[in-house]
Amino acid sequence: MIFLRYESFGAYLRQFPVTSAIIALNLVYFIIVSVNGDPNAAMHAIKFGAFVTHPVYDPYGMLEPWRYLTSVFMHSGIQHLLFNLFAVLVFAPPLERLLGSLRYVFFYLLCGVGGNAFSALASDVAADGGTHVGVGASGAIYGVYGAYLFISLFRKSQLDVSSRKTVYTILIFGVIFSLLAPQVDLWAHVGGALAGFLLYSLFERAKARNRRYRT
């Protein structure tokens, strides 16, 4: 089972520097936002970088595109934060090792952006007439799950049976939770997972091309 963590705190920091930095940034930014107000209040969240779309004035959040990234490091409450950071802590390290730290930086951020983009697209299609405000690392985290789904389906030798079962279980329960829990952005989760699945596929193809060139 690749998702069991046995490292000491120091070893974890050394072996998974990007994952450690992501956890630290989420914690620090949550403290900053919370000290200055209620992180669950929409206007306060917008002030500090939440992702925002409006069906008429800015359906895809492009007036302030930096929010695609800042919102990935924001959370609406301590439960939201801890739930997501636990997922990063446990599930991100093996993927950082597979991709390498530098590529994992781009992978994680692009999955977060992809989750927000898919959420904006879904909101625009639904045309519910309201302003959409989104925060959270869930899109990026589901990108990690999407990468593991690709590995489970097409690179089975890289995952043991227990790890593959864990991936399938997480995704099934994730979909159920996203559908049933209030204020959860299902489409950000779906978009993040799709981004992770496709990005990992692209990275795999790039690695295969590089191996062919070297030989």
Q: What is the mean pLDDT of residues 157-168?
A: 92
- Burial class of residue 1, CB neighbours in 10 A (0-12, 13-18, 19+): exposed
Q: Does residue 4 lie in a domain region?
A: no
Q: Does residue 126 lie in a domain region?
A: yes
Q: Does residue 1 lie in a domain region?
A: no
CB neighbour burial string for 60-79, b if at least 16 within 10 angstroms, e if fewer: ebeeeeebbebbbbbbbeee
Q: What is the mean pLDDT of residues 125-148?
A: 89
Catalytic annotation on 189?
A: yes
Q: Which of 20, 71, 138, 152 is catalytic?
A: 138
CATH number, domain containing residue 193: 1.20.1540.10
Range of the domain at 93: 9-214
Count of domains for the chain:
1
Catalytic annotation on 123?
A: no
Q: Does residue 3 lie in a domain region?
A: no
Q: What is the mean pLDDT of residues 138-156?
A: 95
Whether 126 shows a pLDDT value over 90: the answer reads: no
Q: Does residue 39 lie in a domain region?
A: yes
Q: Whole-model pTM?
A: 0.93
Confidence at residue 65, expressed as pLDDT on a 0 to 100 scale: 96
Distance CA 80, CA 118 (A): 21
pLDDT band at 181, cuts 50/70/90? confident
pLDDT band at 211, cuts 50/70/90? low
Whether 59 shows a pLDDT value over 70: the answer reads: yes
Closest to 181 (Cα-Cα) out of 113, 88, 85, 79: 79
